[in-house]
Amino acid sequence: MFLTDEEKRMLDGEMGFGMQKAMQLNVALGEAMEAERMIPVTSCHLGGLSIRSSEDAGFDFYNELADKGAKFKITTTTNLISGDLYQWNALGLSAEERDRQEKLIDAFVRMGALRTQSCTPYLL
């Protein structure tokens, strides 16, 4: 897969840990799909915000990125979560799940994501 000089610097870690991890994932996905190159994007919408879908591996990964200062390079919005954090008890979430969910959201916000928590952020 062809990478620009800037993309190569990102992949080599010259632009920080978070950018390097993002590029490693993007290159692996691109190669798996036999992409010739990357294309520029100006915004993205993130899934995986629910503790029930990200589980321990996702929770740990996103918090590690945020703890190491990773920042989104483009406008980033967030998808739905496991449940209403204000009515968590009525929805069957434990206090531990509620706190864990809030910490996962916080990791994305610390990286610069907009806390839209919607599957239709363009309406906001």
Residue 25, φ and ψ in degrees, nearest 5? -65, -45
Which pLDDT belongs to residue 23? 97
Cα separation, 20 vs 15, in Å, equals 7
Q: What Å distances lie between residue 9 and 52, 75, 92, 98, CA to CA? A: 34, 21, 46, 39
Looking at residue 81, its pLDDT comes to: 84
Q: What is the pLDDT of residues 1-12, one digit of tens each?
A: 999 999 999 999
Closest CA to 109 of 17, 29, 46: 46
Instruction: List, for residues 63-97, the tens digit of each pLDDT value.
Output: 999 999 999 999 999 998 877 777 888 888 888 98
